[in-house]
Amino acid sequence: MMGQFVYTFLEGNKGMKNLLGGKGANLAEMTQLGLPVPSGFTITTEACKRYFEDQNTINSEIKKEVESAVAELEQRVGKSFDGDPCLLVSVRSGAVISMPGMMDTILNLGLNDKNIEAMGKSTGSMTFALDCYRRFIQMYSNVVLEIPMYHFESILDDCKEANDLKDDKDLSEENLRQLIGDYKQIVYNQTGSPFEQSPKKQLYAAIEAVFRSWNNERAKIYRHLNGIPDNMGTAVNVQMMVFGNMGDSSGTGVVFTRNPSSGENTLYGEFLMNAQGEDVVAGIRTPRPISELQEVDKKVYEELVTASQTLEAHYADMQDIEFTIEKGQFFLLQTRNGKRSANAAIKIAVDFVKAGIMDKRHAVNQLGLAQIDQLLHPKFDQEILKTTKELTLGLPASPGAATGKICFNAKAAHEANENGEDVILVRTETSPEDIQGMISAKGVLTARGGMTSHAAVVARGMGKSCVSGCIELEVNEENGTIKVGEELLKEGDYISIDGSTGKVYRGKIDTVSSSLDKDFLSIMDWADEFSKLDVLANADTPLDAKKSREFGAKGIGLCRTEHMFFDGQRIKDIREMIMAKTPSGRQIALDKLYPYQKEDFKGIFLAMETLPVNVRLLDPPLHEFLPKGKSEIQEMAEQLDVSYEDIIKVIEELAEVNPMMGLRGCRLGLIYPEVYAMQVRAIITAALEVMEEEGIAPRPEIMIPLVGNPEELSLLRKLAQRIIHELDPDAKLGQVKIGTMIEVPRASLVADQIAPHADYFSFGTNDLTQMTLGYSRDDSGTFIRKYKEQKIIKTDPFQSIDQEGVGQLIKMAIKKGKAHDSHLKIGVCGEHGGDPASVDFFNALDIQYVSCSPYRIPKARLAAAQAAIRNQSLETKAPATNKMQ
């Protein structure tokens, strides 16, 4: 079947976006609704594709349809290309997916030397008509004939200078006639032909130019950046011109149907009288708030209000509308779903649901995930930001804005914080020793390390702002300075970082904080109704645990125990354990650590009540607990009453070339079983005490890290079970689940052998990504950035799960694990749990939960709901829901 290549606005509708483009479909839809839209027609994307297939020619079939659409248009509006009044049209591109400003537009098409005089008469203003003609020649020449703009601009500038004129508006009829003559001369000089006088020929040339603009460089780059396929083509909208600049009863404006910043249900926007759309954008004259339009033209204002309400109700979404008033007559030129802040998005969605305009599913589904972060973290004052130049740019590692004095170490940060000062901890990279400093700081800035570096992971866990991998930054801790190029800052200077954008600023910038409101909580509850995946928290402290419940976590999916070892006395005890040469010596130190661990767990169990708390036994290599600097080693020697040399010896013994693949995780647990034994004892005793003291039944789960071999898990499971049975012989806590991380590639490969020893699998997608790709998360920042630039990879695999590679191992492990036990619980506890694309991937698999740091929970809940909805839609083959960004 041959398609129809041209649709008048009376024929199309909003469902025809693929064929008519977004603009064309909406113009047709508005026309269908009886709203005042200047008449016109749309040449389809299919016609564009045919144009390219036919070696850049418009074939006779399409031409025939255009001819007939033009004839119909002429008849409808009572004007014609070759008659009087003459028909003037705009020719605009209209892609399926909006590519604002990327392709070309021509206004006032149809003018020529002859009809310009008639137009002058009929409009009553020769300068208006001549100015239209001048602009048209310039636009046409540039877009269709590809003559560079500066040719025309320099002549215009010369003219204004020679006549001492400030504004284009001041050009006289004589000036304009002179300019038009000069412009036409440029065209002749550049092309060897006179300026095209036939409106029809102008039209075809313009249509071709718009088609061709699909493939101009900036459009191609935009598509590449936004992942838009190159073969979609653009539609072309041909529409009768209306003029907002025909005097004081004409005008133009832009409105949102609700406040896009707050979501408040009032018309929001601005207008200018005697102006064209471009004047509003150009900002030469200051537009007036839309409410004042009722004073200027009450009838038009009421028409606008009615049209807004109609469109909002019809599209079931807040609309962004362009309108023009031509001599008191109101026209709609465009409508589309309006962009809005996160707060507004939520308020609008909740209001719509309450008003019955939208259902919950749509309300949940249309929220932009990227915006959710905005809600949870402080932001810089946008006004101050406007006038502040960035110092440099790093990776947006943990969202939120923070400002404070530069500190280089934990001690200084702690002291400054005690003195009530805000601090930014600045390090080349952080290590577990910096935890205390990170707690004291408002934010963390590192020169090295990627999105999942130590600094990034810990900061996200704490909900602190973090910019990592700021490669231009030179940190000289010794001198107490940082440098970016020639710019130098000293310890104690103010610096500001935005962990949502990665931007770093010199000086202090005030922040404004956000909070979770009622509407937000409603949306989150609705989201959970659709989700297939539960969202749990990565939380290591009672404080984190509480925060995660505020954000709606269904439990703790990853409670790391190592951070518990860094506080004050504890680090001394763990170091004592490391220095011990015998199991009994280690036991003495572990006995000191035990009460701390137990108290921590009690706090967490209390906060989580009867929700599951999945505790991962000690994971990092022991050398992470040892000091690095000379003075710290000296201090440790004095504290523990051992020699400096002995410590150096142990540090050297424990040093590892590739600690990520060294003596850590269950390997530690097998070689020093007394450590894991102490931890299991602390967990179980804490749970029993909470039960006894508070009457709450906690749900501890015990997770063994870094298992790659079934025997590892089997041995440690037996160890844990023995202690559990010892402490809780009557199983008051029920059957305490013992599970394993799947984070070594081999674990996925032999998951069928591991499953018999596991009550659950939890994918540690960070480590699994590191080892599957061979990317050290601490070192890969540099080459991941280059790889993205060179298009070797599309996304940072630590941000968004590598579905093709790591994803295969995940699928394999699930299949093998479930083959052994179809009820095997399966979750994900890497930071990927908070990434929407990753959540989408996990949703499609047989996975029960994702776990992520507290501040990422809302986003994960929403992502889980959207993934489930999308998945359902796909299953029922319903059209994909339109999504805002």
Known binding-site residues equal 560, 616, 743, 764-767
Residue from the set 805, 845, 848, 871 that interacts with its own copies by CB under 8 A: 805
Q: Which is nearer to its own copies, 792 or 819 (CB)?
A: 792
Per CB under 8 A, 775 contacts its own copies: yes
Query: What minimum distance in Å lies between the beta carbon of 637 and its own copies?
Result: 19
In the set 171, 744, 758, 847, which binds its own copies (CB under 8 A)?
Answer: 744
- Position 428 contacts its own copies (CB under 8 A): yes
Contact between 395 and its own copies by CB under 8 A: the answer reads no
The verdict on 803 binding its own copies (CB under 8 A) reads no
Q: Establish if 434 lies at the interface with its own copies (CB under 8 A).
A: no
φ, ψ of residue 202 in degrees (nearest 5): -55, -45
Strand arrangement of the beta sheet that strand 487-490 belongs to: 473-476, 481-484, 487-490
Any contact of residue 663 with its own copies (CB under 8 A)? yes
Catalytic residue flag (residue 86): no
**Among the candidate windows 204-212, 437-445, 626-634, 711-719, which touches its own copies by CB under 8 A?**
711-719
Spatial separation of the C-alpha atoms in residues 514 and 377, rounded to whole Å: 6
| Minimum distance from residue 818 beta carbon to its own copies (Å) | 18
In the shown chain, the binding pattern of residues 607 to 646 toward its own copies, with x for contact by CB under 8 A and - for none, equals ----------------------------------------
CA distance 631 to 646: 15
Residue 829 known to be catalytic = yes
Q: What is the CA radius of gyration of the chain?
A: 33
A 10 A CB-CB count for 357 gives 18
Q: Which residues are annotated as a binding site for Mg(2+)?
A: 743, 767
Choice from 266, 782, 872, 881 touching its own copies (CB under 8 A): 782
First-to-final CA distance of the chain:
37
Residue 737 falls in which region: left (phi positive, over 0), alpha (psi -120 to 50) or beta: beta
Q: Which residues are annotated as a binding site for substrate?
A: 560, 616, 743, 764-767
**Which stretches within 297-341 are classed as H helix?**
298-315
Tokens of 36: 């005042």
- The answer to whether the CB of 736 falls within 8 A of the CB of 743 is no
Residue 799: name the closest of 779, 784, 814, 813 by CA: 784
Per-position DSSP letters for 172-197, written without gaps between them: -HHHHHHHHHHHHHHHHHHHSSPPP-
77, 159, 316, 793: residue in contact with its own copies (rule CB under 8 A): 793
Give me the sign of the Cα torsion angle 832, 834, 836, 842: positive
Q: Which stretch binds its own copies (CB under 8 A): 306-314, 528-536, 684-692, 737-745?
A: 737-745
Instruction: Determine, following the binding rule CB under 8 A, whether residue 494 of this chain makes contact with its own copies.
Output: no
303 binds its own copies per the rule CB under 8 A: no
Cα distance between residue 436 and residue 687, in whole Å: 27
Alpha helices in 325-452 (DSSP H): 342-354, 360-365, 369-376, 382-386, 410-418, 435-440
| Residue 344 or 675 having the CB closest to its own copies | 675
Question: Counting contacts by CB under 8 A, is residue 478 touching its own copies?
Answer: no
Least separation in angstroms between residue 806's CB and its own copies is: 8
Contacts 24+ apart (CB under 8 A), 774-779: 776/658, 776/660, 777/449, 777/450, 777/452, 777/453, 778/429, 778/448, 778/449, 778/450, 778/453, 778/454, 778/660
Query: Is the CB of residue 537 less than 8 Å from the CB of residue 852?
Result: yes
**Dist CA 88 CA 367 (whole Å):** 40
Are 809 and 787 a contacting pair, CB within 8 Å? no
Q: How far is the CB of 802 from its own copies (least distance, A)?
A: 7
Binding flag, residue 804, its own copies (CB under 8 A): yes
Q: Does 557 bind its own copies (CB under 8 A)?
A: no
Among 697, 750, 844, 884, binds its own copies (CB under 8 A): 750
Residue from 808, 846, 874, 878 binding its own copies (CB under 8 A): 808
Among 712, 759, 835, 840, binds its own copies (CB under 8 A): 712
CB 653 to its own copies: min, Å: 9
Residues of this chain that interact with its own copies (CB under 8 A) are 428, 652, 656-663, 667, 670-671, 706, 708-709, 711-712, 715, 743-746, 749-750, 753, 767, 770-776, 778-780, 782-783, 786-787, 790-793, 802, 804-806, 808-809
- Catalytic residue numbers read 454, 829
